[in-house]
Amino acid sequence: MVYQVYPRSFADSNGDGVGDLAGITAHLPYVAALGVDAIWLSPVFPSPMVDNGYDVSDYAGIDPVFGDLAAFDALLAQAHKLGLKLILDQVWSHSSDAHPWFEQSRKSREGPYADWYVWADPAPGGGPPNNWQCWFGQAAWSWEPARGQYYLHNFHPRMPDLNWWSPAVAEAMLEAGKFWLDRGVDGLRLDVCNYYLHDRSLRDNPPKAVDHPAKPHDLQAHLKNCDRPENLAHVEAIRAILDAYGDRMAVAEICSDNNLERALEYTQGPRRLHTAYSFSYLRDWPGTEGFKAIVRAYDDALGAWPSFAFSNHDVPRVATRWGGGDPVAARMFLALLLTLRGTIFLYQGEELSLPESDVPYERLTDPSGLAGWPLYKGRDGCRTPFPWDADAPQAGFSTAEPWLPADPAHASLAAARQADDPASSLSLARALIAWRRGEPAVRAGTLAFLDAPAPVIAFVRDGEGRRITAVFNVGPEARTCAPPPGEALFAEGARVEGGGLQLDPWGFAILGG
């Protein structure tokens, strides 16, 4: 089980309003006490911070806002001392336009870095070479006068795409990974791993019908600018590097029009990645049958190990996205997530049942939110400072005004306030994680769904002679279903009455037998 730390928002040790490595190190005992196996650290590399660190200008350093390499080594050593592994984000599909590679590449069509990025001549008659649209609200091509060509950026214009068709680029990115593996990190999280390669012929993406699109990006099926089958060779090369280091792993982030299909493709067999999580559970609620289909897909995919997340730094928190901000719903989703088969990713604050924050427009930093406002408010709402202490300034995150506002609604859910309350979400999270660690049927056993009236989700986990039955009411109205067998291990808003299991809104029961 992996706990995601978003460094800018976790803990500020030096009073500049931005979280840092020393702040994370100081709070690692809190993470270890959750009972998780590892932390995933979002990018901490040198960056102009156009996209809060996902625009990397040096793949072998630490941005001064977070600390330095010595601070990183101290964090890694403390994590290992506490029995935590560390997975480090790797942003290899694109770099910052401030990276020396791009500064050289944009100058001329000649030279050693000329083909390290994706360059193209204008379309006949002028304009971008094709119809590709970027995630942040504009065409995926920007003009460079020095070269007299367009460059590709699937994300922000200041985040040009690296050209993985160039062997030199592929080699350089593998060397970047080796730098951190040599330093002792235990795994790599590969940001938008399915975006490394593009269609070499630069063919247009086909249109896609969408109601109320927030951005032009939503109006096309992204079949040519990502998801290329040739990318699997690079996936296998990454796996070979990791295997050479022994006990290391990689988890791919998949963001695709075909999330589940790509996640399975990137993890099938021993030559591909250890696991991948996708946006299958990071969008709107997929419906009861849609939820089941995602889980069942792994039963038919030989050798593909699932990873599941309900929240992360890119989407509204699950308490709000699926639960409407109801704290009872947040607890139910926490229990549902921790009962699934696979590697579980828990986003910082999810254990506290934090809802999404409403960040005012004048405080937004996310370029995608600025581009999509007001229909799409971006990702800042899930990135607000972690609430450590309700009675401290900025809820204990910093002594200064934070880079994003501390949410007053989070103060009552602060970690210090929940720590000693046996009825708190934090206590529930700790209990569920400890239980999961001791239940082989839940960690790796089979999962079979039971018949239940929608929106109830019920399933059985079997393994090593142990059977766990779990029932979840994924809705704001009471439901009744057949009473499951076994002794109640966890139950909230659930009771057996009149020959049936009565489930309150967002109620759940987990039973062992």
CA distance 123 to 127: 6
DSSP secondary structure of 357-393:
P---GGG---HHHHHHTTT---SGGG-SPP---TTSG
* Through-space distance between the first and last CA atoms of the chain, rounded to whole angstroms: 24
Closest CA to 234 of 166, 147, 300: 166
The reply to whether 261 belongs to the active site is: no
503: tokens are: 């489930």
Which of 89, 191, 351, 439 is flagged as catalytic? Answer: 191
Please check whether residue 42 is in contact with residue 419, taking contact to mean a CB–CB distance below 8 angstroms.
no
DSSP secondary structure of 20-35:
-HHHHHHTHHHHHHHT
Q: Where are the alpha helices (DSSP H) in 82-166?
A: 100-105
Please check whether residue 43 is in contact with residue 84, taking contact to mean a CB–CB distance below 8 angstroms.
no
CA distance 183 to 117: 28
Q: Where are the alpha helices (DSSP H) in 218-344?
A: 231-244, 259-265, 288-299, 318-321, 327-337
Q: Where are the alpha helices (DSSP H) in 409-450?
A: 415-419, 425-437, 440-443
The reply to whether 51 belongs to the active site is: no
Which of 51, 253, 350, 356 is flagged as catalytic? Answer: 253
Q: Could you list the active site residues?
A: 191, 253
